[in-house]
């Protein structure tokens, strides 16, 4: 193995030696295996045996490959040194944020802190002791590692296998990776590959650091149980009173929130303060009872609520504030009892914060009352705190109790005596426009006075009438008649073509689609199906012309028959589909047209004829006969036998066979053969005859 020698000033010279004194000097022949136990990190961490690559890194880093060959850099060539007791590995400890890497020189481990990932690489840094002969120095070291040329950062994977606390795994997933191990040379203040620095310091007698790369290893810790949390160097401990823990990876307990408490240690959940109690927080270990004049409703309260005005809380531990009952009140907050309303005052509702003085027209003569006494109807009390009531004079009244003064009889009423409790309204059909009157006036004919208490007569509206005086309401013109207005005293009958449903000032024209044939009609009659009327006010409907139809009642027009359909008659509700062998090519037709010889139609309602293939049509009949229940094989065989003659150009046998088959089907229709199937077979037979040209 060749070494590069560099002379340095004595003041800056220190020596670096990697590995043990009995180190091999030849390159490694390929990957080797190693199993390592990481010391100094709390619970033990075991590294699974994996493939490693050893050797001296060249300037700028080392690239591992399957055959162990390492390239050169900067024109310099470097060999391998198999230093078995120098190594480093990846390590994660704590809640996945204290990642470290361990590198050892001569078996002495040093821990490098995780700096972070940038792009596709991950970096660790720290210090390590290196020595040669009689000199040792603690040198700053930085390690950069990534997979292959892509330098993909290592990934983090958790494994809950070793209690207590939390562990993690770094995994290098690539089959090869690149690592740079750099040390800072004090004599030049720059980062230099460890091997180059070692050669310089050792003056040729030292050896470059040996590094073991473990592709994958596991460093794991299981989570703490519920009620406990993890303390570094101690393990899982109970959450103290006033706090809880869900266990797992947590490193501190959770304090109970305000309104909750927990008197015990090692608990998972806090207890909610009960109604009538409260728990200050966070971290309360007990609940406290609410004092008198306060309360707490529901559980989980962090404080008690002071009873509001109009309410009281009678003693310690109240779960609600009660409203003061009627007749009592509570003027301030935090009350433990209520006060009675004094004489001349009242409290009508619960939860009052003050009493209310009796208003004018009422009085009270005792305390604790929920209402004042009203002056009786027919009397009045002129002011607050009244001690008696006075009768109303003639022409005045008080309809209800509790009045401060009497009221004049209004228009539409009269009052004949003193002490009246009401004015007498004018009866229906009469009215009074003045106040203080003793009688009312009848409404004249052609008008009405609603009652009781009308102040004037009102003319009958159009469509209504009154024939005599003193009417409380006008009469609606009967259905079939009308009354012009206002002020009508009689009605007139509706003319033909019009009608009324009652209460109309004029009659209504019969709408299009209907008619009215006589006078005094109360409704219009819809045109029957097959008939229509285009205009209003008609006395009769029009029959639909030939070639058209009216399907529904009350129509205003007739609809032309569609192509494929026809109608030879008037006043019809539908059109007739062209029969098989016939067609209708235009709309509004009054007749159908027979297809020319050698042509037919495939179905009813056709708009054009199509050529007929005799054999195809005959085969369709045979197939239909074979598939129809009730048709015996003997009848089918007759048709099949005649087919040979038809194919040979001799249609007479086929025509006779069809006639015989049609006779059979007609006889068995509704018996062995259903009516629907018989109709279908007869249509197929007729189509085949037309196609063949049977006479």
Does residue 668 lie within any of the structural domains?
yes
Q: Is 172 in the same domain as 247?
A: no
Which residue carries 């531990």 as its tokens?
317
Q: Is 30 in the same domain as 66?
A: yes
Residue 114 pLDDT > 60, yes or no?
yes
Does residue 414 lie within any of the structural domains?
no
Q: Is 197 in the same domain as 232?
A: no
The answer to whether the CB of 556 falls within 8 A of the CB of 580 is no
The answer to whether the CB of 251 falls within 8 A of the CB of 231 is yes
Total domains in the chain come to: 3
Domain that holds residue 242: 228-271
288-313: average pLDDT: 92
Per-residue buried b or exposed e for 559-593, using 16+ beta carbons within 10 Å of the residue's own CB: bbbbbbbbbeebbbeebbbbbbbbbbeebbbbebe
Q: Is 16 in the same domain as 107?
A: yes
Give me the pLDDT at residue 682, please. 92
CA dihedral 66, 68, 73, 79 (to 10 degrees): 180
Which residue carries 């006589």 as its tokens?
518
pLDDT per residue as tens digits for the range 415-446 = 889 899 999 899 999 998 999 888 889 999 99
Give me the pLDDT at residue 191, please. 61
Range with top average pLDDT, 159-173, 239-253, 576-590: 576-590
Structure token pair of residue 645: 């003659």
Q: Is 103 in the same domain as 194?
A: yes
pLDDT per residue as tens digits for the range 186-201 = 444 556 555 555 545 4
Q: Is 188 in the same domain as 249?
A: no
Give me the pLDDT at residue 494, please. 93
Average pLDDT over all residues of the chain: 74
Lowest-pLDDT range of 88-97, 226-235, 455-464, 615-624: 88-97
Going by pLDDT thresholds of 50, 70 and 90, the confidence category of residue 395 is confident
Torsion 120-126-130-135 (CA) sign: positive
Nearest to 162 by CA among 235, 71, 86: 235
Q: Is 238 in the same domain as 182?
A: no
Q: Is 236 in the same domain as 197?
A: no
The answer to whether the CB of 326 falls within 8 A of the CB of 310 is no
Residue 265 pLDDT > 60, yes or no?
yes
Residue 119 pLDDT > 70, yes or no?
no
Structure token pair of residue 279: 């728990």
DSSP 508-537: EEPPTTEE--SSS-SSPEEPPTTEE--SSS
Range with top average pLDDT, 13-17, 148-152, 153-157, 334-338: 334-338
Nearest to 298 by CA among 329, 314, 320: 320
Going by pLDDT thresholds of 50, 70 and 90, the confidence category of residue 183 is low
Does residue 76 lie within any of the structural domains?
yes
E-strand ranges in 428-570 read: 430-431, 441-442, 447-448, 458-459, 464-465, 475-476, 481-482, 492-493, 498-499, 508-509, 514-515, 525-526, 531-532, 542-543, 548-549, 559-560, 565-566
Beta-bridged to residue 113, according to DSSP, are 100, 125
Going by pLDDT thresholds of 50, 70 and 90, the confidence category of residue 71 is very low
pLDDT per residue as tens digits for the range 354-390 = 998 888 988 778 899 899 889 899 989 787 887 677 8
Residue 235 pLDDT > 90, yes or no?
no
Q: Which of 184, 202, 220 is the last residue of a domain?
A: 202
Q: Tell me if residue 28 falls in helix, strand or coil.
A: coil
Q: Is 133 in the same domain as 64?
A: yes
Nearest to 547 by CA among 583, 601, 586, 594: 586
Does residue 459 lie within any of the structural domains?
no
**Crossing angle for the helix pair 675-692 and 652-668, to the nearest 10 degrees:** 170
Distance CA 271, CA 274 (A): 9
Question: Is residue 68 exposed (0-12), middle (13-18) or buried (19+ Cβ within 10 Å)?
Answer: middle
Does residue 121 lie within any of the structural domains?
yes
Does residue 188 lie within any of the structural domains?
yes
pLDDT per residue as tens digits for the range 475-534 = 999 999 999 879 999 999 999 999 999 999 999 999 999 999 999 999 999 999 999 999
Share of the chain above pLDDT 70, in %: 67
Q: Is 31 in the same domain as 166?
A: yes
The answer to whether the CB of 474 falls within 8 A of the CB of 464 is yes
Lowest-pLDDT range of 62-76, 385-399, 634-648: 62-76
Does residue 211 lie within any of the structural domains?
no
Structure token pair of residue 157: 């994977």
Does residue 232 lie within any of the structural domains?
yes
Q: Is 39 in the same domain as 185?
A: yes
pLDDT per residue as tens digits for the range 550-559 = 999 999 999 9
pLDDT per residue as tens digits for the range 5-61 = 222 221 121 212 222 222 222 222 222 222 222 222 222 222 222 222 223 332 233
Nearest to 233 by CA among 299, 164, 179, 141: 164
Give me the pLDDT at residue 485, please. 78
Nearest to 555 by CA among 533, 536, 576, 575: 533
Structure token pair of residue 687: 């189509």
Q: Is 152 in the same domain as 263?
A: no
Nearest to 23 by CA among 90, 79, 103, 101: 79
Helix, strand, coil shares of the chain as percentages rounded to 5?
Answer: 10, 30, 60
């Amino acid at each position: 193995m060749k070494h590069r020698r560099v002379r340095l000033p004595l003041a800056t010279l220190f020596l670096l030696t990697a590995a043990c004194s009995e180190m091999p000097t030849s390159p490694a022949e390929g990957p080797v295996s190693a199993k390592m136990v990481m010391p100094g990190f709390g619970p033990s961490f075991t590294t699974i045996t994996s493939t490693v690559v050893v050797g001296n890194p060249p300037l700028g880093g080392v690239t591992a490959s399957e055959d162990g060959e390492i390239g050169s850099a900067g024109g310099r060539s470097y060999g391998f040194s198999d230093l078995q007791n120098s190594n480093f590995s990846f390590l994660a400890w704590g809640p996945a944020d204290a990642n470290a890497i361990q590198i050892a020189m001569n078996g002495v481990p040093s821990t490098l802190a995780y700096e972070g990932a940038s792009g596709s690489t991950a970096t660790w840094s720290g210090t390590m002791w290196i020595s040669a002969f009689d000199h040792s120095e603690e040198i700053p070291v930085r390690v950069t590692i990534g997979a292959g040329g892509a330098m993909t950062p290592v990934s983090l994977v958790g494994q809950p296998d070793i209690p207590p606390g939390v562990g993690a795994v770094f995994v290098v997933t690539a089959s090869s990776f690149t690592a740079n191990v750099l040390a800072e040379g004090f004599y030049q203040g720059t980062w230099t590959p460890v091997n180059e620095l070692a050669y310089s310091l050792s003056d040729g007698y030292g050896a470059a650091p040996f590094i073991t790369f473990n592709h994958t290893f596991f460093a794991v810790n299981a989570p703490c149980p519920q009620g406990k949390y993890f303390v570094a160097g101690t393990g899982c401990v109970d959450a103290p009173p006033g706090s809880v823990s869900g266990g797992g990876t947590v490193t501190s307990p959770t304090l109970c929130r305000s309104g909750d408490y927990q008197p015990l240690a090692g608990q998972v959940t806090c207890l909610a303060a009960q109604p009538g109690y409260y728990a200050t927080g966070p971290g309360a270990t007990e609940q406290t009872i609410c004092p008198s004049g306060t309360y707490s409703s529901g559980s989980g309260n962090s404080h008690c609520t002071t009873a509001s005005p109009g309410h009281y809380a009678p003693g310690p531990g109240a779960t609600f504030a009660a409203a003061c009952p009627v007749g009592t009140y509570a003027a301030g907050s935090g009350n433990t009892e209520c006060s009675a309303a004094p004489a001349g005052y009242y409290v009508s509702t619960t939860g009052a914060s003050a009493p209310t003085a009796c208003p004018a027209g009422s009085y009270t003569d005792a305390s604790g009352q929920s209402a004042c006494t009203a002056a009786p109807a027919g009397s009045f009390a002129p002011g607050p705190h009244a001690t008696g009531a006075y009768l109303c004079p003639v022409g005045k009244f008080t309809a209800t109790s509790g009045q401060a003064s009497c009221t004049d009889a209004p228009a539409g009423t009269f009052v004949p005596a003193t002490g009246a409790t009401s004015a007498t309204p004018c009866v229906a059909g009469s009215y009074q426009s003045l106040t203080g009157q003793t009688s009312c006036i009848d409404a004249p004919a052609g008008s009405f006075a609603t009652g009781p208490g009308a102040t004037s007569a009102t003319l009958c509206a159009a469509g209504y009438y009154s024939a005599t005086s003193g009417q409380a309401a006008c009469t609606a013109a009967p259905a079939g008649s009308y009354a012009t207005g206002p002020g009508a005293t009689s009605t007139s009958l509706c003319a033909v073509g019009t009608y009324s449903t009652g209460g109309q000032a004029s009659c209504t024209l019969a709408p299009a689609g209907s008619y009215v044939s006589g006078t005094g009609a109360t409704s219009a009659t819809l045109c029957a199906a097959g008939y229509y009327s285009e205009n209003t006010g008609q006395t009769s409907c029009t029959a639909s012309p030939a070639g058209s139809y009216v399907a529904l009642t009350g129509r205003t027009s007739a609809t032309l028959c569609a192509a494929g359909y026809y109608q030879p008659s008037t006043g019809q509700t539908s059109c007739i589909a062209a029969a098989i062998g016939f067609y209708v090519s235009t709309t509004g037709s009054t007749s159908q047209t027979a297809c020319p010889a050698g042509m037919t139609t495939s179905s009813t309602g056709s708009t054009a004829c199509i050529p007929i293939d005799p054999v195809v049509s005959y085969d369709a009949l045979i197939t239909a006969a074979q598939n129809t229940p009730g048709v015996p094989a003997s009848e089918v065989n007759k048709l099949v036998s005649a087919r040979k003659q038809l194919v040979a150009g001799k249609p007479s046998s086929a025509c006779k066979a069809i006639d015989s088959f049609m006779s059979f089907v007609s006889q068995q229709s509704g018996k062995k053969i259903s009516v629907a199937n018989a109709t279908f077979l007869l249509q197929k037979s007729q189509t085949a005859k037309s196609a063949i040209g049977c006479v």
